[in-house]
DNA sequence: CGCCCGCTTGATCGTCATCAAGGGCGGTGG
DNA sequence: CCACCGCCCTTGATGACGATCAAGCGGGCG
């Protein structure tokens, strides 16, 4: 039962909590529970109230909502070191999404009382929280922008470029962070469409695909695709738009 | 030149600032500028940095981004009493959207220093800010949900129901908050499509439209449309999905 | 009175979802 | 070691929803 020690250590190393005093870390730790979740298990359903939030230690959690028709849309894939649920906690409203483990995972659940105490005590912490929420908001707006004024191909390219990082140029290899099914949903596509797009990109020599691994062969050209107005008529390019 | 008095009064009445002390209000007021904006004028462009945020006193501002192709997508329509730009301010990153006046408007621009001081001084204020940002995040997620798993008709209905408020039942009349062009963009539709949808809804006897005024005739049935799985086969209903 | 702008209406086209099979690969058991 | 099965992904054929292009309409304002 080395839980207590573990939790304090883990908390203290998170960017969000880096600069808190030992006392506050200890205080947070008392309100913190460890959660192990096996692949496929649901952490909470859409509509639940949360009076705390979660941090992923390892594993992978997907946040998604599902229509009454049973369709599901993945909003976010959260990995180690990332947190989720803060907004719901501060809002005191039912959670708009559900959370499910994509792999066996280990999380921390941090009760809001400790957070609130830390805010009262240390206004720099409040600043970090505000900045964190703001970043989240920002990326959500990016999503809205992607969904509303970019084609499916552009969304895929944008996603790949993001995974590739800002590379020096030259080919970059990386792995998709989840099954193609999940990725497709995250990008608002069907798996079929994603498959076709990846196929067509590799036909154009822009990328190479083997299973979950992808090589971005020509990052420069890829980026150009990403946001170029389709030239007046992209001649003969069934493949592209 | 009654600006100073005005500003203090206006600030003190905003929900966000209700509970601040007179001293803090005064402090905020010194960092606050009044801005008058005539219809059509652009307040800031996408990519600008902000070191403060805005509150609409009267008028109407649209937040939007535009693709390189010149297409424009309205993210939000902000009216009197509402604020915008906080997230950008806290994030210290370029603004992801542009802001333009839809009517002659009057705004307050509040410098971040006063806000930061208030946070340091009054942790309840920090809580309110956090809750405010969280609400914003929540509604953005709703938007994503709408865009990704609801048909255009469902989005329109959802929007109308929101305008109608939670009515007692029976017909409700209200006005669209902006031109149909802007509304359409907000809902991720072309004006043509919006027009057709409104037409088809009024043909079905669900609403009546005269210009910008709309009467929701059958709110109950409207709500049902809003989220019902299309019954196995909605017989003969070209009008509906 | 006439113009301009916001909206409507009609015809056509593209993109992407849907439906339906067909691979390929890993795991399991004979 | 091979055969079988399940799962994930791919590939193909079709269709629907909504965008685009192109006129018409009406009403407010100069």
All residues at 6 or more sequence positions from B231 whose CB lies less than 8 Å from its CB, including other chains:
none
Q: Do residues A13 and A67 both lie within one domain?
A: yes
B87 and chain A: CB distance < 8 Å anywhere?
A: yes
Q: Do residues B105 and B181 both lie within one domain?
A: no
Among B115, B134, B149, the domain boundary falls at B149
Tell whether B241 is covered by a domain.
no
Tell whether A61 is covered by a domain.
yes
**How is residue A181 written in tokens?**
């099914």
Tell whether B233 is covered by a domain.
no
Question: SS3 for A35?
Answer: strand
In the block, residue with structure tokens 């649920």: A85
A75 and chain B: CB distance < 8 Å anywhere?
A: yes
Whether the CB of A192 is less than 7 Å away from nucleic strand C comes out as: yes
Q: Do residues B34 and B129 both lie within one domain?
A: yes
Tell whether B230 is covered by a domain.
no
With CA atoms as reference, report the closest residue to A31 among A113, A95, A150, A93.
A113
Count the domains in chain B: 2
Q: Do residues B75 and B176 both lie within one domain?
A: no
Strand order in the sheet with A83-84: A32-37, A105-111, A52-58, A83-84
CATH of the domain at A201: 1.10.10.10
Q: Do residues B50 and B114 both lie within one domain?
A: yes
Q: Do residues A156 and A210 both lie within one domain?
A: yes
User: How would you write the pLDDT of chain B (241 residues) with one tens digit per residue?
Assistant: 444 457 888 888 888 888 888 888 888 999 999 999 999 999 999 999 999 999 999 999 999 998 777 789 999 999 999 999 999 999 999 999 999 999 999 999 999 999 999 999 999 999 999 999 999 999 999 999 999 999 999 999 999 999 998 877 789 999 999 999 999 999 999 999 999 999 999 999 999 999 999 999 999 999 887 655 444 333 333 333 3
Distance A72 CA to C30 C1' (A): 40
Which of residues 139 through 158 in chain A touch B, CB cutoff 8 A?
Answer: 140-145, 147-150
Q: Do residues B157 and B145 both lie within one domain?
A: no
**How is residue A163 written in tokens?**
């995974």
Tell whether B44 is covered by a domain.
yes
Whether the CB of B71 is less than 7 Å away from nucleic strand D comes out as: yes
List, in sequence order, the alpha helices (H) in chain A: 3-13, 22-30, 86-91, 112-121, 123-149, 152-164, 180-186, 191-203, 219-227
Q: Do residues B13 and B132 both lie within one domain?
A: yes
State the nearest Cα–Cα gap between B45 and chain A, in angstroms: 15
- Could you tell me the pTM of the whole model? 0.89
Q: Taking CB atoms and an 8 Å limit, are B141 and A90 in contact across chains?
A: no
Q: Do residues B117 and B161 both lie within one domain?
A: no
Q: Do residues B63 and B91 both lie within one domain?
A: yes
Q: Taking CB atoms and an 8 Å limit, are A73 and B148 in contact across chains?
A: yes
Burial of A233 (0-12, 13-18, 19+ CB in 10 A): exposed
Whether the CB of A196 is less than 7 Å away from nucleic strand D comes out as: yes
Burial of A121 (0-12, 13-18, 19+ CB in 10 A): middle
- Spell out which residues of A between 150 and 169 contact strand C, using CB within 7 Å: 151-153
- Smallest Cβ distance to A137: which of B87, B148, B228? B87
Count CB pairs under 8 A between chains A and B: 132
Tell whether B195 is covered by a domain.
yes
């Amino acid at each position: 039962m080395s839980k207590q020690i573990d939790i304090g250590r883990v908390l203290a190393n998170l960017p969000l909590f880096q600069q808190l005093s030992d006392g506050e870390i200890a205080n947070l730790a008392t309100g913190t529970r460890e959660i192990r979740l096996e692949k496929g298990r649901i952490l909470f359903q859409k509509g639940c109230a949360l009076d705390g939030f979660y941090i992923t230690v390892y594993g992978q959690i997907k946040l998604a909502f599902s229509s009454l028709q049973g369709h599901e849309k993945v909003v976010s894939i959260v990995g180690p070191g990332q947190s989720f649920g803060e907004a719901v906690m501060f809002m005191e409203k039912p959670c708009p999404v559900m959370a499910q483990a994509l792999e066996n995972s280990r999380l921390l659940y941090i009760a809001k009382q400790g957070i609130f105490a830390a805010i009262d005590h240390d206004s720099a912490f409040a600043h970090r929280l505000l900045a964190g929420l703001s970043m989240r908001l920002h990326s959500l707006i990016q999503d809205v922008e992607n969904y509303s004024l970019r084609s499916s191909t552009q969304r895929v390219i944008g996603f790949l470029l993001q995974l590739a990082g800002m590379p020096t140029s030259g080919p970059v290899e990386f792995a998709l962070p989840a099954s193609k099914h999940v990725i497709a949903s995250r990008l608002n596509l069907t798996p079929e469409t994603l498959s076709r797009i990846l196929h067509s990109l590799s036909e154009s020599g822009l990328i190479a695909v083997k299973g979950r691994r992808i090589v971005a062969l020509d990052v420069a050209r890829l980026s150009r695709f990403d946001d170029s107005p389709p030239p007046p008529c992209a001649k003969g390019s069934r493949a592209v738009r």
